[in-house]
Structure 1
Amino acid sequence: MIAMSFILAFVAAVVTERIVEPRLGPWEPEEGSFGHQETLEVAPEADRRGSRFALIAFLVVTVVVALATLLPGAPLRDPESGAIIGNTPFMDSLLFIITMLFGVAGVAYGAGAGTMKGSGDVIAAITKTFSGLAGMVLMLLMIAQFIAYFNWTNMPAVLAGSLAEMLGRADIGPVPLLLGFIVVITLLDFIMPGALPKWAIFAPIFVPLFMRLGVAPQTLLAAYRVADSPVNALTPLMVYLPFIATVAQRYQKKAGIGTVVALMMPYSIAIFLVWTVLFIVWFVLGIPLGPGYPTSMP
């Protein structure tokens, strides 16, 4: 993972410079909402005062949340075990806490900079923000309905089980089997983007199989991570894709999910190929996949 952090950063930079940016061409401001939005001028002194107010508000909320979490018997701890992490009030309310931190800081900045004079300005700012998310909400609704019905049919689990059984019966060596494993996981990632559901299906089948071939479990997990990542930016079932499309529409009105997928395709292909090749080279050379672990090959 350390090696791939540097290599994939270089690959992504090359793809951006050589493929994606030339396809986009120059940006015309009038194509998106950024070209039409009003610019609110804030004096430097007002901006500094607003930033100071935002920082103070952020720290105050942070201290309040810390007191409600860290002290013994605090309300955000688990009432029985006193734990903070896990199925606790703190974890259940984490999304609200993050929203409150940034919301309070934003209102404090507006009050300090003089851009918000009262509750009406706050409500107007919130309304303006959410009005631009209407398209994303509609897309999320349609995608959520599709995912719900798709999971109700159990088709993902049946398909994953069938492919796992077929691959498990293949009488081939460890390297071709690892390549087949990577390809199958990559294909299934289009309909099952979540990492844990696929691993729960495949691990009981393939960990014993690969151990009989002399392949350590951590090696199989490394192959799974290689396959589970590259196409996340291409499947409409990934929850972040509608949001990315909504942001893209601020720069180009006609942008949609198809636009995002087309732009992400070079990244996914390049990352998949480079990552797979490096993993196989790593495996064939018998390089340890972690401190204290045995080498990949017996």
Structure 2
Amino acid sequence: MAMESTAPKTTMQRFLDGVEKVGNMVPHPVVIFLILIGIVIVLSAVLGLFGTQVSYERINPETHKIEIASTAIRSLLNAEGIRFIYSSLVPNFMAFTAVGLMIAAMIGAGVAEESGLVTALIRKLVIISPPAALTYILAFVAITASIAADAGYLVLIPLAGIAYLAVGRNPMAGLALGFAGVAGAFTVNMLIKPLDAVLVEFTNDAARLVDPARTIGLASNVWFSVASVVVLTITIAFITDRIVGPRLGPYDATKAAEGTTTDQAALLSESESRGLRFAGFGLLGLIVVFLLLTVPSGAPLRNPTTGELIGNSPFMNGLIALIMLIFLTSGWCYGIGAGTVRTLTDVIAAIEKSIKGLGGTIFLFFILSQFVAYFTYTNMGTVMALSLAGLLQSANIGALPLLLGFIVVVAIIDLLLTGAIAKWAIFAPVFVPLLMKLGVEPEAVLAAYRIGDSPMNMITPLNAYFAMVVGLMQKYDRNAGVGTLVALMLPYLAGMFVVWTALFVVWKTLGLPWGL
């Protein structure tokens, strides 16, 4: 058993311990969302009875012109609402894309994990990397994993826990680090990703309300995004090494859930090394295939109309398939080389095992999908967002304070509406024209939105993967709960929000270019 840390706890550590104790009194996530569903149903009926609504300007997606619209609270207890509850049960679940992404990713990840590739890769990374650099490497990879959309949640976070365990550090800190990088910095990357295309399109529609000739490009925030990745990598690593890691202390393997492997060999065996070589050959072959499908002019995975590859293209829209194939191919090739997965039957068995382990998560997603659908149907989130936006818009303050207030409002709303696209569709027509009239370029407004949209993803239970991370933590500490995760993520939330906002203020004050 690992020795317990005898160093006295700081005030911050005692505060986080208190948050964890209180948070762990929270019921099971399924129970929480059942309660929330009941609250939404009752509240929608009360607000609908009083005719609660809000009027606002919006951009018509078909005509791209501004129009006056109103959104009213819709009751779930009238005839129409009851019909929706009854008839949408299965459609709500089928439309919850997180389920499909999770299963698709686990098809490949299951083979990679069962064959031993994941463990071997992490141990290889540990062997060749200086221990002091491992935290920074994992933080950087976690942030840039958003290029694969939600696949970063499913692949990188558990890998970070395994990596920490491999070097004798507390795997809970690794999971927290991974979650902070993937969720807390989701809107920035070193590369252009599909989300950028959608956000830029809404920004341009809003900018044309002031200047019909004003547009921004797909890479309009690329320099700020690159700088954000670097700064946030350092911030996440610092918080992990100086706050989260010391608070957790040495890992006690006796806390692990039954069946969790906590022993890691220090060196790779000959068969494992051979497996990694085979995995490399398999990955190289897959890369060649995808180069043929993407690089040539008129390649199948390019946009058939514009020919673009990065942005709105089959390649980017189906990136989860590439992630799945990378792990499936490299995992199978590793298994052949290492002798752990030899036949197609073995591969199928590995996939079945990984998907069987998702039973609890899939049930949670079923309940969560109903809550999200009911909350969206009632329009309560939209009314709240527009009301807060109206208050901020009417405040007679300068451009920079208004931008900072905008960041805060977006962050608050993100606790309820986690979708980056849905929120920007509401906020862009209000704040882009408003700030342009104050001399603020639309690129700056979009950059501010990126900051407000991401950090809160780490602590809101409405994040579709919040419960999944709780489940991953319970593998290493069977007593972990919602409070454990929230307590671990609060230092990241505070640190990332302050540092990222400070970077924005400096960037704006110095007049640095936001992108290309």
What's the TM-score bracket when you normalise by the shorter of the two chains?
Answer: 0.7 to 0.9
Deviates more, 1:12-21 or 1:104-113: 12-21
* 8 Å contact from structure 2 (residues 415, 457) kept in 1: yes
2:494 to 247, 258, 269: 269
Instruction: Provide the alpha-carbon RMSD of the alignment.
Output: 3.3
Question: CA separation in 2, counterparts of 1:151 and 1:63?
Answer: 43
* 1:108 paired residue among 318, 329, 333: 333
Distance in structure 1 (CA, Å) of the matches to 2:244 and 2:500: 20
Q: 2: distance between equivalents of 1:160 and 1:200?
A: 11
Q: Deviations over 1:36-89 (max 9, x none)?
A: 439798983322332232222222333334334455665545666666556655
Q: Following superposition of structure 1 onto structure 2, how do residues 36-185 of structure 1 map, counting pairs within 5 Å? A: 36-37=260-261, 44-70=269-295, 75-76=300-301, 84=309, 89-185=314-410
Rounded Cα–Cα distance in structure 2 between residues aligned with 1:190 and 1:223: 17
Report the AA paired with residue 32 of structure 1: A
Aligned pair count reads: 291
Take 2:362 and 2:290, find their aligned partners in 1: how far apart are those partners? 30
| 1:1-56 CA-partner distances (Å, limit 9, x unpaired) | 46555554444344323432233232111322487439798983322332232222
Match of 1:31 in 2: 255
Q: For the residues of structure 2 that align with 1:40 and 1:269, how far apart are their CA atoms?
A: 33
Q: Distance in 2 between matches of 1:110 and 1:99?
A: 16
**Structure 1 counterpart of 2:161:** none
Deviates more, 1:225-234 or 1:79-88: 79-88
Q: 2:423 aligns with which of 175, 193, 198?
A: 198
Is the 8 Å Cα contact of residues 29 and 35 (structure 1) preserved in structure 2? no
Question: In the alignment, residue 122 of structure 1 is paired with which amino acid?
Answer: V
2:510 counterpart SS class: coil
Which residue does the alignment assign to 1:189?
414
Shift in alpha-carbon separation, 1:213–1:256, aligned structure 2, 3 A: same
CA distance in 1, matches of 2:478, 2:410: 35
| Structure 1 unmatched ranges of 5 or more | 294-298
Tell me, yes or no, if the aligned pair for 2:257 and 2:478 is still in contact at 8 Å. Answer: yes
CA contact (8 A) 2:443 2:514 kept: no
Counterpart code for 2:453: D
Match of 1:236 in 2: 461
Distance 1:95 1:276, change over 3 A: closer
1:113-160 deviation per Cα after TM superposition (whole angstroms, max 9, x unaligned): 212243443333223333333333233232222212211222222221
Q: 1:262 to 1:139 in 2, by over 3 A?
A: farther
| TM-score (normalised: structure 2) | 0.49
Letter paired with 1:113: A
TM-score with structure 1 length normalisation? 0.80
